[in-house]
Amino acid sequence: MEIIDSRNVLQSIVKEFRLQGTSVGLVPTMGALHEGHLSLIQCSNKENDITIVSIFVNPTQFNDQEDYQRYPRIISDDIKKLESVKCDFLFTPTKEEMYPEEDKREFDFGNIDKVMEGSHRPGHFRGVALIVSKLFEIVNPHKAYFGEKDFQQVAIIKHLTKQLNFDIEIIPCQIIREKDGLAMSSRNILLSEDQRKNVSLISKTLFESVNKMKLLNPTETKEWVIRKINENQFLKVEYFEIVDSETLESVNEWSQSKNITGCIAVHVGNIRLIDNIRFYS
Ligand code: PAF
């Protein structure tokens, strides 16, 4: 695995590969890699000749400075993990390399960045769009891989790719869960032992909520999920929304859409976790 921190160097290496007809997969990450990230890399390895992983804790997507400072940075562990799977290039740019000057671009994503994460983390998706578009410009991969835990982020990135005319296929990959159901996240390592024991209630409740569909309408299901999770002293639901998976608009009747997703954000002390579940009507 070659480690590169210069955007120009990476850009010219990839250009050369593409000229030779080599297919390129990109897995953008913020590091603190876990099995979820490794599964994205394995997917990319299956579908491309070379895989490039980027690790960059992107300051513009954090609406909370403390969250940015606290975000785990464990690059030597990450390198070991990347060496255990096949990764051809690791891109680890500095802040100055990615943002040599302030990037003032604004994006219009219609409704999809106004709800859920968008309304609770102002500016978050603009920051994601800034960095992902920069990575796409530098790497220009054939395919880019993103985890479905960040369900709304995948929708935003698909939109961005279309809007900016990137000829890149966005591949969403399924959530990888711990044995007790907790969705894998870089933030999980920040949980205390007690918090860790209690957070499995989030996914357990989401799984159970799918069975409630026969008895409860979406509004009642929402209330049931929020009440059940909030009963736990370690957990505080920020939002749980049941939405059309394409438009991200709230659903009031199960018959309203064939593809429905429940998205949740939960505070566990000062750590914030997200997860989601598919409902089929
Ligand atoms: O999902 C993430 O880890 C980040 O939001 C991403 C896509 C790497 C952009 O910084």
Residue 181 lies in a domain: no
Cβ–Cβ under 8 Å, residues 126 and 107: yes
* 74 and 149, same domain (yes or no): yes
Atom of ligand 1 nearest to the CA of 30: 3
* Residue at a domain's end among 124, 148, 173: 173
Strands 50-55 and 89-91: parallel
* Residue at a domain's end among 118, 139, 173: 173
Q: Tell me the C-alpha distance between 103 and 45, whole Å.
A: 32
Length of the chain: 281
CATH of the domain at 120: 3.40.50.620
* Residue at a domain's end among 124, 152, 173: 173
Tell me which residue of 149, 224, 221, 231 sits closest to 198, measured CA to CA.
Answer: 231
Residue 31 lies in a domain: yes
Residue 180 lies in a domain: no
Domain count, the chain: 2
The token pair at 139 is 């790497």
State the residue range of the domain holding 93: 2-173
* 205 and 112, same domain (yes or no): no
* 246 and 139, same domain (yes or no): no
Cβ–Cβ under 8 Å, residues 17 and 139: no
| Contacts (Cβ under 8 Å, ≥6 apart) of 16 | none
> Exposed, middle or buried, 20 (CB in 10 Å: 0-12/13-18/19+)?
exposed
- DSSP string over 128-146: HHHHHHHHHHHH--SEEEE
Please give the chain's pLDDT, 281 residues, in tens. Answer: 999 999 999 999 999 999 999 999 999 999 999 999 999 999 999 999 999 999 999 999 999 999 999 999 999 999 999 999 999 999 999 999 999 999 999 999 999 999 999 999 999 999 999 999 999 999 999 999 999 999 999 999 999 999 999 999 999 999 999 999 999 999 999 999 999 999 999 999 999 999 998 899 999 999 999 999 999 999 999 999 999 999 999 999 999 999 999 999 999 999 999 999 999 76
Residue 51: which H helix or E strand, with range?
strand 50-55
Q: Is 29 in the pocket of ligand 1 (CB under 6 A)?
A: yes
Residue 47 lies in a domain: yes
Atom of ligand 1 nearest to the CA of 56: 10
Q: Is 128 in the pocket of ligand 1 (CB under 6 A)?
A: yes
Please give the pLDDT value at position 173. Answer: 98
* 117 and 200, same domain (yes or no): no
Shortest-distance Cα residue to atom 6 of ligand 1: 29
Residue 278: which H helix or E strand, with range?
strand 271-279
* 94 and 221, same domain (yes or no): no
Write down the pTM of the prediction.
Answer: 0.97
Type of residue at 53: V
Q: Tell me the C-alpha distance between 262 and 232, whole Å.
A: 20
Residue 179 lies in a domain: no
Please give the pLDDT value at position 281. Answer: 63
* 32 and 136, same domain (yes or no): yes
Atom of ligand 1 nearest to the CA of 147: 1
| Contacts (Cβ under 8 Å, ≥6 apart) of 68 | 57, 59, 62
Q: Is 54 in the pocket of ligand 1 (CB under 6 A)?
A: no
* Ligand 1 center from residue 77 Cα (angstroms): 18
The token pair at 258 is 């064939």
* 152 and 74, same domain (yes or no): yes
Q: Tell me the C-alpha distance between 240 and 274, whole Å.
A: 10
Please give the pLDDT value at position 214. Answer: 87
